[in-house]
Chains A and B, each alone.
Chain A
Amino acid sequence: MMKKELVIIGAGPAGLAAALAAYEEGIEDILIIEREDRPGGILNQCIHDGFGLHKFKEVLTGPEYAHRYIDKVREKELEIMTNTIVTELTDEKEIKAFNESEGILHIKAEAVILAMGSRERTAGGISLPGDRPSGIYTAGLAQNLMNLQNIQVGKEIVILGSGDIGLIMARRLTLEGADVKAVLEIMPYSNGLRRNINQCLIDYNIPLKLSQTVIDVKGNGRLKSVTAAEVDEAFNPIAGTEYEIKCDTLILSVGLIPENELSKKAKVQLDDTTGGAVVKDNLETNVDGIFACGNVLHIHDLVDFVSDEAEKAGKAASEYIKKGHKLNKDNIFVEAGSGIGYVIPQVISKEKDQIFSMRVRKPDNDKTIKIAADGKILHEENFEKVNPSEMIKIKVSSEKFKPLEKSTIKVVAE
């Protein structure tokens, strides 16, 4: 069995940044495993720009952003094993992987960083009703086909879901000569970034229909049409509002799901809300020496934040490798209270300054996010506008936690 100090699963932005951070901390025996033929993760298919505004104060395309990290990883001669898929992971940090040239590999790691990214929610996952013809694609798959395989998926398009990938694809398909007839969104607001609505829909006169969904799909063979309808507050279609849209392609942009199949095999505890691991403030999971960052931990909208988070995981993993596992006695549990969807990390220690990542449940104006414990408010911050699609990060100094008696703090939006 091959032995490694640190194995990172996934060479997307999370895996790459984690590797570099661990290297900075003096860990050199690192292996990054990637199932695709090149590093970069989902960024390789994101040929649009808008990456790196926070991290580099520059506007980069996805591949350009990825290359900032890939170049460094190459410069430091860190090992990336591509065309290699991890199929098993145990809580003893034993890995089974398949490599195209070497066959089956077994690797034992001292620490593992999970950086497997996410997969897309599918037609089946949202119980899309009607026929099951060809021409129904998830947005990321359509993006991959278009940008990496040069395949045109269709000509008359309806997009269901206004997540960022759907918005980006509305523009991409239009530029490719397709007729994007509408973007339908079941919520009364879009889940995409505001800048994407402006640059991808409004600029191209593509209608965004809020509080609408697809209630029927028709096509025997290739897709022929979808039936759309308005929905009420409980998301049930409102009778009499149905209308048919002729189209040969339906693109689904209905959410990403952290890809935690391996994590489950390693007995990593998952959070029902995020779909990712429950982590401590050093991004360690409940399994000693297994850390998580990036989309596998929770879905990010900005890659810059993925890189930040991954650096933290890389540092923590190197600390673990150098010093072994440190039991933390005064753990404090963090809970998402009213108005908040989730907060990461879920467990913190009193000793450190903390950055909480969170999402609100619904868009609103003038909201105060309060972090409270023992009936006292430890920290509060006001936001002119909040939106579930935009992750909020709040920094709190350790001074605030030190006097705490209770072991739970709550985050609310009021």
Chain B
Amino acid sequence: MKKQNYDIAIIGGGVVGTAIARELSRYKADVLLIEKENDVGQGASNSNSGVVHSGFTAPVGSLKADVCMYGNSHFEEICSELDVPYEKTGKLVVAVEEKQIAELYNLQYIGRKNGAELYIVGEDFIEEKEPNISGKAAMYSPNSAITSPYELTIAFAENAHQNGVEISLNTKVVKISKKNSKFSVKTDRGEILADYVINSAGLYSDKIAAFSGEDRYKIYPCRGEYYVLDKNASALMSRLVYPVPPENAGGYGIHLTPTVEGNILIGPSNEYIDSVDNEATTKEVMDKLLKEARGFLPKISREMVIRSYSGIRSKIVPPEMGGFTDFVIEKSPKYDNFINLIGIESPGLTSAPGIAKYVVEMIDKMEKLIEDKDFEKTRKGITKFYELPEEKQKELAEDNPNYREIVCRCENITKQEIIDALNNPLGVQTLKGVKYRARATMGRCQGGYCMTRIIKIMQDEFDMDLEDIKLEGNNSNLFAGQAKGWE
């Protein structure tokens, strides 16, 4: 942290915290974003379905419905400003049995009240649009879309950074107290003072809220496990395919999601767990994912699986209560200028832009924010070389030899893209940092080919020592050192 005093401190660099940071960077204010991990988006924001929801599950008039609808209608524009992939694929909520059809009409009713465009379609529509999917009827949502959740979080952070927000990674908030008119925010790397605190700490938001006298909410971590299918499976379907949501489960049910990279996700499961940190996957659930997915898409096979992962929802209701709860975005009971965001579970990704606007308006009401004329709303991501037309590829390769070397054979990613990823403005230099920025190691070989090459680039072009090369966190060393043969 570069300074002692800030106007606003944001705790948590997930999609919500970074979206707020970006929204605040439109104004003249000293903003600090504090994140305990060594990159942004390491919580729920990099381990979700990446779906831009159209808002048909939240009750009419809820905050959730409002911010979700705002997000849905602004996502395309935001993604184009920030150079983040976005694809309006549309969604089918499929009734596999006759008796579920009534529930489709119910969903349509709520959704339309929220302002979503929705249609009930028959078997022939499913057959025509998604010939590999089996179902009796479906609700079709043309405005449902997909994005890259990690690229978006990184883009929000980079755009905020470029507009003057300071981002302090590897910094954990351990205590917050009131010191005269300001908040003292103590971290494991020192203390800062701030006029406003925004708590967007996701799974830890209840703990941070406690520093502001807010003790009404408790986080019940609820894990969702996923399977990722090989790109070769992508021909099987092109839209989002969801089941009719199971009653009171507080989730959407295991669904099939095409990703912007061209893979298919199966998941997530719905498991309440004891620890907010337990992102493990389990055999039982993975077996179940495959079984349920085959219920819609019989052609899916185990050989198509290239990876599994999980994300944790920060629910604020225990499993026995289940069902719907609204997002909590409130001033703390003790302090007006301490804003808590608690229970930002799905559709938190979709809602991030709306939440950011909502939070900034809360602050603006307390203290008129002054627009910064220099605000630059666009941010440029890494050039995805292989997606360019051949003429453009040739031009780039002509000038820059780093574009002539394909480092990742599965996704055809060039050396220049790896270098760009390692040169990111936030200064993240881990293997996962490269993965989330340039997609290397994400393909079917999971780094079998490109890892040695990335390591070499880290050593040769960035002077990194073997001991400093990490997968992600500080204690995730990749190697034990030089082999004996070298001594």
> Which residue numbers of A lie inside 8 Å of B, CB to CB?
35, 83, 85, 87, 98-104, 119-120, 122-125, 127-135, 138, 140-141, 144-146, 148-155, 176-178, 215-217, 220-222, 237, 248-249, 261, 264
Known A123-B446, A154-B480; contact A132-B452, beta-carbon cutoff 8 A: no
Residue of A nearest to B486 (CB): A150
B residues near A133, Cβ cutoff 8 Å: 471, 476
* Cβ–Cβ contact B448 & A129, under 8 A: no
**Chain B residues within 8 Å of A85, by CB:** 406, 409
Identify which of A122, A128, A141 contacts B452 (C-beta below 8 A). Answer: A141
The chain A residue sitting closest to B385, CB to CB, is A98
Chain A residue nearest to B393 in the complex (CB) = A104
Assembly CA distance A238 to B478 (angstroms): 32
Whole-angstrom distance between the Cβ of B352 and the nearest chain A Cβ: 25
Other-chain contact of A134, B406, B455, B478 (Cβ < 8 Å): B478
Asked if A177 and B448 make an inter-chain contact with CB atoms under 8 angstroms apart, the answer reads no
* Top 3 A-B residue pairs of the complex, sorted by shortest distance between their CB atoms: A221-B475, A124-B307, A134-B471
Which of B401, B446, B470 is in CB contact (< 8 Å) with A124?
A: B446
Contacts of B481 in A (CB 8 A): 151-152
Q: Which residues of B contact A140 (CB under 8 A)?
A: 448
Is B482 at the interface (CB under 8 A from chain A)? yes
A124 touches B479 (CB 8 A): no
For A99, what are the chain B residues with a Cβ–Cβ distance below 8 Å? Answer: 404
B412 interface hit (Cβ, 8 Å): yes
With a cutoff of 8 Å between Cβ atoms, the chain A residues found around residue B80 in the complex are none
Contacts between chains A and B (CB distance < 8 A), count? 142
Instruction: Mark the stretch among B90-98, B121-129, B135-143, B276-284 that contacts chain A.
Output: B276-284
Q: Please, which residues of chain B bring their CB within 8 A of the CB of A264? A: 232
Having A124-B228, A152-B481, one finds 8 other A-B pairs with CB under 8 Å, namely A98-B397, A103-B398, A104-B397, A119-B449, A141-B448, A145-B479, A149-B455, A221-B474
Q: Knowing A124-B228, A133-B471, say if A98 contacts B406 (CB, 8 Å).
A: yes
Complexed CA–CA distance, A191 and B476 (Å):
32
Among residues of B, the one whose C-beta sits closest to the C-beta of A140 is B448
Cβ 8 A contact of B305, one of A125, A141, A222, A249: A125
Residues of chain A lying within 8 A (CB to CB) of residue B307:
122, 124
Q: How far is the CB of B262 from chain A (nearest CB, A)?
A: 13
Q: What are 20 A-B residue pairs whose CB atoms fall within 8 Å in the complex? A: A100-B401, A100-B405, A103-B403, A122-B306, A124-B308, A125-B446, A130-B280, A130-B282, A138-B448, A141-B447, A149-B456, A151-B483, A152-B479, A154-B480, A178-B480, A217-B280, A220-B277, A221-B475, A221-B477, A249-B480
Chain B residue contacts of A103, Cβ below 8 A? 394, 397-398, 403-404
Segment 412-453 of B: residues with Cβ below 8 Å from A: 412, 444-449, 451-452
Are A127 and B286 in contact, with the CB atoms below 8 A? yes
Query: Cβ of B409: which chain A residues have Cβ within 8 Å of it?
Result: 35, 85, 261
B283, A125: Cβ atoms under 8 Å?
A: no
Residues in A with CB closer than 8 Å to B228 are: 124
Is B298 on the interface with A (CB-CB < 8 A)? no
How many residues on B have C-beta within 8 angstroms of the other chain's C-beta atoms?
A: 58
Check if A125 sits within 8 Å of B455, measured CB to CB.
no
Instruction: Tell whether, in the assembled complex, residue B484 and residue A129 are in contact, meaning their CB atoms are under 8 Å apart.
Output: no
User: In the bound complex, how far is the Cα of B470 from the Cα of A54, in angstroms?
Assistant: 44
**A132 touching B309, Cβ below 8 Å:** yes
- Among A119, A144, A237, find the residue whose CB has the most chain B CB atoms closer than 10 A: A119
B390 an interface residue at 8 Å Cβ cutoff? yes
Given the known inter-chain contacts A124-B308, A134-B476, please indicate yes or no for A101 contacting B404, CB distance below 8 A: yes
Report Cα–Cα, A86/B393, bound state, in Å.
15
B452–A87 touching, CB < 8 Å: no
List the B residue with the shortest CB-CB distance to A175: B484
Asked if residues B466 and A134 are in contact (CB atoms below 8 Å), the reply is: no
B281: nearest chain-A partner, CB-CB: A129
B473 cross-chain contacts in A, Cβ below 8 A: 220-221
Query: Is B308 within 8 A of A127, CB to CB?
Result: yes
List chain A residues, Cβ under 8 A from B405.
Answer: 83, 98, 100
User: CB distance A222 to B406 under 8 Å?
Assistant: no
Q: Is the CB of A132 within 8 A of B306?
A: no
Q: Which chain B residues lie closer than 8 Å to A124 at the CB level? A: 228, 305-308, 446
Nearest-CB residue, chain B, relative to A154: B480
Q: Which chain B positions have C-beta within 8 A of A35?
A: 406, 409
* Most chain A beta-carbon neighbours within 10 Å: one of B282, B309, B398, B456: B282
CB atoms of A104 and B448 under 8 A apart: no
A327 to B477, CA, bound (A): 58
Decide if A150 touches B485 in the complex (CB within 8 Å). Answer: yes
**For residue B474, which residues in chain A have a CB less than 8 angstroms away from its CB?**
221
Beta-carbon contact of B480 and A153 below 8 Å: yes
Are A129 and B482 within 8 A (Cβ)?
no
Chain B residues near A221: list those with CB within 8 A: 473-477
Residue of B nearest to A127 (CB): B286
Task: State how many angstroms separate the Cβ of B441 from the closest Cβ of chain A.
Answer: 10
Q: CB-CB < 8 A to A144: which residues of B?
A: 452
Query: Are B477 and A134 in contact, with the CB atoms below 8 A?
Result: yes
A152 x B480 contact (CB < 8 A): yes
Cβ–Cβ contact A87 & B283, under 8 A: no
Q: A124-B308, A150-B486 are in contact. Are A132 and B279 (CB under 8 A)?
A: yes
Which residues of chain B come closer than 8 Å to A129, judged between CB atoms? 280-283, 286, 308
Interface centre among A102, A129, A131, A237 (most CB of B within 10 A): A129
Is A131 within 8 A of B448, CB to CB? no
- A261–B305 alpha-carbon span in the complex (Å): 16
Q: Which of A104, A125, A131, A154 contacts B306 (CB 8 A)?
A: A125
By a CB distance below 8 angstroms, the chain B residues around A149 are: 452, 455-456
Measured CB to CB, the closest approach of chain A to B486, in angstroms, equals: 4
Q: Which residues of B contact A249 (CB under 8 A)?
A: 480
Task: Tell me which residues across on chain A come within 8 A of B445, comparing CB atoms.
Answer: 119-120, 122
Closest to A144 in B: B452
| Complex: A261 Cα to B444 Cα, angstroms | 10
Give the contacting residue for B484; candidates A141, A153, A176; CB below 8 A: A176
Residues of chain A lying within 8 A (CB to CB) of residue B277:
220
**Are the CB atoms of B483 and A152 closer together than 8 Å?**
yes
Is A222 a contact partner of B484 (Cβ separation < 8 A)? no
**Chain B contacts of A155 at CB under 8 A?**
480
B349-391 interface mask toward A, CB cutoff 8 Å, 1 = contact, 0 = none?
0000000000000000000000000000000000000100010
List residues of chain A with CB within 8 A of the CB of B232: 264
Q: How far is the CA of A127 from the CA of B228 in the complex (A)?
A: 10
Closest chain-B Cβ to A85's Cβ sits at a distance in Å of: 5
A120 to B279: give the CA distance in the assembly, Å.
25
Q: Residue A131 contacts which of B280, B283, B393, B480 (CB distance < 8 angstroms)?
A: B280
Chain A residues near B466: list those with CB within 8 A. 151
Which of A85, A125, A141, A217 has most chain B Cβ within 10 Å? A125
